[in-house]
Chains A and B, each alone.
Chain A
Amino acid sequence: MKRRAILAFMHDRPGVLNKVSMLIRKKMYNVDTLTVCSSRVKGISRMTITLREDDIAKVTQVIKQLEKFTEVISAKELDTNKSYWREAAIIKLEVDSEHLKAFKGRYNFEVLDKKSKDIQIIQLAGSTAQIDNFLDKVGREHIIEIARTGVTAMEK
Chain B
Amino acid sequence: MTGKEKLLSALKTKGIKYIFGYTGGAIMPVFDELENYKDLQFIMSRHEQGAAFMAQGISRGSLSTNNPQVGVCIATSGPGAMNLTTGVADAHMDSVPMLIVTGQVATGVIATDAFQESDIVGVMMPISKQTYMPLHADDVETTVHEAHYVATTGRGGPVLVDIPKDIQNQSVSKKYHFDVKGYRPVLPGYFYHPTPERGPLERAMKLINKSVRPLIFCGHGVVNSRAGNLLQQFAEKVNIPIAFTLHGISALPADHPLSLGMMGMHGTVEANKAVVEADLLISFGMRFDDRVTAKLDEYAANADVIHVEIDPSEIDKNVATSVAINADVYRTLRVLLDDPMLTYKPRRRWFKKIDEHRKAMREALQGEIDGGVGDNGKLLMKTIVHQLSLATKGKDLIVPDVGQHQMMAARFYNYQTENSWFTSGGAGTMGVSLPMAIGVKLSRPDERVWSISGDGGFQMNMQELGTIMEHQIDIKMLLLNNGYLGMVRQWQTLFFDGRYSGTPMLNPDYGFIAKAYDIPYLKVTKVKDIRPALQKAIDQKGPILIEFVCDPTEVILPMIPAGGGFNDMIVTRPQKEKSVSKRKKKGNKS
Q: Does A60 contact B (CB under 8 A)?
A: yes
Interface residues of A in 5-53 (CB under 8 A from B): 10-11, 14-15, 18-19, 22, 26, 44
**Among candidates B122, B150, B313, residue contacting A64 with C-beta atoms closer than 8 Å:** B313
| Cα–Cα, bound, A85→B126 (Å) | 30
A46 → chain B, closest Cβ, in Å?
13
With A15-B131, A26-B126 as known contacts, state yes or no: A70 contacts B189, CB within 8 Å. Answer: yes
User: Please, which residues of chain B bring their CB within 8 A of the CB of A69?
Assistant: 189
Q: Are B313 and A19 in contact (CB under 8 A)?
A: no
CB-CB nearest in chain A for B122:
A18
**Among candidates B150, B187, B312, B320, residue contacting A67 with C-beta atoms closer than 8 Å:** B312
With A57-B316, A65-B313 as known contacts, state yes or no: A11 contacts B188, CB within 8 Å. Answer: yes
User: Please, which residues of chain B bring their CB within 8 A of the CB of A64?
Assistant: 312-313, 315, 317
Q: Does B121 contact A (CB under 8 A)?
A: yes
Interface residues of B in 197-214 (CB under 8 A from A): none
Q: Does B311 contact A (CB under 8 A)?
A: yes
Count A-side interface residues using an 8 Å CB cutoff: 21
CB-CB nearest in chain B for A66:
B313
Q: Does B390 contact A (CB under 8 A)?
A: no
Q: Does B190 contact A (CB under 8 A)?
A: yes
Q: Are A15 and B189 in contact (CB under 8 A)?
A: no
Q: Are B317 and A73 in contact (CB under 8 A)?
A: no
Total A-B contacts with CB atoms under 8 angstroms apart: 42
Q: Does A142 contact B (CB under 8 A)?
A: no
Q: Does A101 contact B (CB under 8 A)?
A: no
B136 → chain A, closest Cβ, in Å?
14
A95 → chain B, closest Cβ, in Å?
44
User: Please, which residues of chain A bring their CB within 8 A of the CB of B133?
Assistant: 14
Interface residues of B in 446-482 (CB under 8 A from A): none
| Cα–Cα, bound, A55→B581 (Å) | 48
**Among candidates B121, B122, B188, residue contacting A73 with C-beta atoms closer than 8 Å:** B188
Q: Does A71 contact B (CB under 8 A)?
A: yes
A55 → chain B, closest Cβ, in Å?
12
A99 → chain B, closest Cβ, in Å?
49
Q: Does A115 contact B (CB under 8 A)?
A: no
Q: Does A149 contact B (CB under 8 A)?
A: no
User: Please, which residues of chain B bring their CB within 8 A of the CB of A14?
Assistant: 133
Count B-side interface residues using an 8 Å CB cutoff: 20
Q: Does A93 contact B (CB under 8 A)?
A: no
With A15-B125, A70-B150 as known contacts, state yes or no: A61 contacts B317, CB within 8 Å. Answer: yes
| Cα–Cα, bound, A19→B131 (Å) | 11
With A11-B187, A44-B188, A73-B189 as known contacts, state yes or no: A68 contacts B313, CB within 8 Å. Answer: yes
| Cα–Cα, bound, A60→B320 (Å) | 12
**Among candidates B122, B189, B316, residue contacting A60 with C-beta atoms closer than 8 Å:** B316
Interface residues of B in 108-128 (CB under 8 A from A): 121-122, 125-126
CB-CB nearest in chain B for A25:
B126
A141 → chain B, closest Cβ, in Å?
43
CB-CB nearest in chain B for A23:
B126
User: Please, which residues of chain A bring their CB within 8 A of the CB of B126?
Assistant: 22, 26
Q: Does A72 contact B (CB under 8 A)?
A: yes
Q: Does B507 contact A (CB under 8 A)?
A: no
| Cα–Cα, bound, A116→B238 (Å) | 84
Most chain A beta-carbon contacts within 10 A, residue among B131, B189, B315, B316: B189
CB-CB nearest in chain B for A68:
B313
| Cα–Cα, bound, A71→B150 (Å) | 11
CB-CB nearest in chain B for A71:
B189
- Give chain A's interface residues, CB within 8 Å of chain B: 10-11, 14-15, 18-19, 22, 26, 44, 57, 60-61, 64-65, 67-73
Across the A-B interface, the 4 shortest Cβ-Cβ residue pairs: A64-B313, A73-B189, A70-B190, A68-B313
**22 residue pairs bridging A and B, Cβ less than 8 Å apart:** A11-B187, A15-B121, A15-B131, A18-B125, A22-B125, A26-B126, A57-B320, A61-B316, A61-B317, A64-B312, A64-B317, A67-B312, A67-B313, A68-B311, A68-B313, A70-B129, A70-B187, A70-B189, A70-B190, A72-B189, A73-B188, A73-B189
